[in-house]
Chains A and B, each alone.
Chain A
Amino acid sequence: MSEVIKTDVVIVGAGPAGLFAVFELGLLDIRAHLVDILPRAGGQCSELYPEKPIYDIPGFPVVTGQGLVDNLMQQIEPFHPTYHFGEMVTELESTGSADKPAFRVQTDAGKTFECTCVIVAAGGGSFQPKKPPIAGIDAYEGKSVHYAVRRMEDFRDRNVMIVGGGDSALDWTLNLHPVAKRITLVHRRDDFRGAPHSVNAMRELVREDKMDLVIGQVGSLAGDNGELHTATIKLNDGTTRDVACERMMPFFGLTMKLGPIADWGLNLHENLVPADTEKFETSTPGIFAIGDINTYPGKLKLILSGFHEGALAAQKVHRYVYPDKKLTFQYTTSSTSLQKKLGVN
């Protein structure tokens, strides 16, 4: 908890809007750190549609989600942004005033930032694991039901049930197999979309009777005081089977939840952050909202809107970061000082 990073701006979310904000800030000599809960940059572009073509980015008749992200990262490289991936901003606290904003930002990995401004570019919120709608599952979460492995030791000598058919489910089946007492993999069909070598390795373990594979869906859970002991599986032929398990890991992909943003004292409107259209500042001076997370009259959830919003927000951020400097508007095509910053002159 000791690391304190001092910077001008913390950008929450490394999707296209957050990435391009680094560029607009950088041109104005404003330093930024990016924090994202995902393990990589790109937000929805990388997570939901990396291979899908996008047709409405100005100047690109067609570009894939990942192609756009790669280009943006290349474009902002001259400004050496620092990325903090796999971390969620949990706390945002004002330590300044309306005229002289300052914030302390904390992540769930224990990092603390001290910054002048915050740009919330969190898209649809943070990507979080989908929770299956099994009655009473909440009571087991944290103790017996986990959506990620924090400590392998928690699974030692336990009957572990893993639910899902993708790489996460298969990888954890294989990784926890040597540690767990017995692994049961539950999947709705006898077809796995995970990497073929993982599927083969899992099937080999089943053949050798070193783990169980059950085709079906989890129907209900039984246990005491948050300690799970049995899961009832609905098999595809309509019958059920009880399986002993003290630990369960469901892998149903990710969904977007607003998450801790709701606790930062910002005005919210239907899970969106209202911002003005002059500088895209929120109800809290010094906190800006750009991209899909914001709302204002006429808002369109387009990537290009996020770019525009980032450019305007940067102008106001400049006034907070450099209150005594006059900002002269310049073009990258002609300004030698901007070209110098970009490393092209």
Chain B
Amino acid sequence: MAKITFVDSEGKSRTVDAEVGSTVMETAIRNSIPEILAECGGACACATCHVYVDDAWLEKTGKASAMEEDMLDFAFEVKPTSRLSCQIKVTADLDGLVVNTPGKQG
């Protein structure tokens, strides 16, 4: 188990348990986190699970793959910290991860 904190666009934060091996997107959906749509269900095909990784966690979450970068073109307000949460696998190392969700996904 790892704890993940989602901070929404209005600053409200929600901390939930995440299963190691699942994705950050799946964790969000299981816990009804707002501002994560995940229209395609995790196929890296829609860019509606866009998150901003907290600066302190950037190194541990790693970089977006080429395919993920392509999909990020469909997201709004993309920043250097932008990731698609369906492409971030939860590991024990990510216990305490903080991500921010954008105001608009789709």
Instruction: Write the residues of chain A forming the contact surface with B, with a CB cutoff of 8 angstroms.
Output: 44, 48-49, 52, 124, 130, 132-133, 164-166, 187-189, 191, 193, 217, 252-253, 255-256
Least CB distance from B29 to A in Å reads 12
| Contact of B77 with A255 in the complex, beta carbons under 8 Å | no
Least CB distance from B22 to A in Å reads 17
From the candidates B69, B73, B106, name the one contacting A255 in the complex (CB within 8 A). Answer: B106
Least CB distance from B99 to A in Å reads 19
Instruction: Write the residues of chain B forming the contact surface with A, with a CB cutoff of 8 angstroms.
Output: 39-41, 43, 45-48, 69-70, 72-78, 103-104, 106
| Contact of A189 with B69 in the complex, beta carbons under 8 Å | yes
| Contact of A49 with B76 in the complex, beta carbons under 8 Å | no
Given the known inter-chain contacts A193-B70, A256-B39, please indicate yes or no for A132 contacting B76, CB distance below 8 A: yes
Residues of A within 8 A of B77 (CB): 133, 217
Given the known inter-chain contacts A133-B104, A188-B78, A255-B106, please indicate yes or no for A48 contacting B39, CB distance below 8 A: yes
Given the known inter-chain contacts A133-B76, A133-B77, A253-B74, please indicate yes or no for A48 contacting B43, CB distance below 8 A: yes
- In the assembled complex, 29 residue pairs joining A and B whose CB atoms fall closer than 8 Å, in A order, are A44-B40, A48-B39, A48-B40, A48-B45, A48-B46, A49-B43, A49-B45, A52-B43, A52-B45, A124-B39, A132-B76, A133-B76, A133-B77, A133-B103, A165-B73, A166-B73, A187-B73, A188-B73, A188-B78, A189-B69, A193-B73, A217-B77, A217-B78, A252-B76, A253-B46, A253-B47, A255-B39, A255-B106, A256-B106
Most buried by B among A44, A189, A253: A253
Main SS of chain A's interface residues?
loop
Residue of chain A at shortest CB distance from B74: A253
In the complex, A253→B50 CA distance in Å? 14
Residues of B within 8 A of A130 (CB): 74, 76, 106
